[in-house]
Amino acid sequence: MRRWVLFTAVVAVVAAIPLAVWAAGAASPDNTAINCQTVKWRTTTLTTSSSSFATIPELKPEVSSVFPMSITVSAVVSGQPVAFRLRDVSVAGNKVVPPGVAPFSAGALSSFSYTWTDPGISSAVRGHQFLVQWRRTTPAGTSKLLKADVVVLYQTEKGACLA
């Protein structure tokens, strides 16, 4: 009988550890369950000689989420150094997504990937459009974007992933 009670106690403790870890993670405001992914890409070359930010056509994903989102931009660039930023356009306003501007040295041919994190806004329940923007960071010259993609990971209502 003692073995049975001891065995039951050990099983209960072992089972409780993962449940406690899961519960702690689920209760944290820093964790968000992901159930949707939206992807946009371009494979045609684009050039800029501007020192002002401009939106890259085709890299404008739209999502429906009030929770934090992760947005990763990957690109192949050449020419003068460039900077990228991400804007979130929603009913709550038009803002630059944290952590802000990300500079990259282009050179002959460079590829990079960078992730922004949008905290989400409860007043923007039905829509965010992310604008991937870029600009040249030197006083003169041209920068070239050879190809790029943007991936947004987020949580939304079941069956509500936008195509």
Q: CB under 8 Å to 103, separation ≥6 — which residues?
A: 81, 82, 83, 137
Q: Domain residues of the chain, as ranges?
A: 1-31, 36-154
What proportion of the chain, given as a percentage, has pLDDT over 90? 48
Output b/e per residue, 38-55; b: 16+ Cβ within 10 A.
bebebeeebebeeeebee
Residue type, 149: D
Q: Residue 104 is encoded by which pair of tokens? A: 């990259």
The CATH number of the structural domain formed by 36-154 is: 2.60.120.1340
Question: What pLDDT score was predicted for residue 162?
Answer: 58
The rounded mean pLDDT for the chain is 80
Q: What is the pTM of this model?
A: 0.75
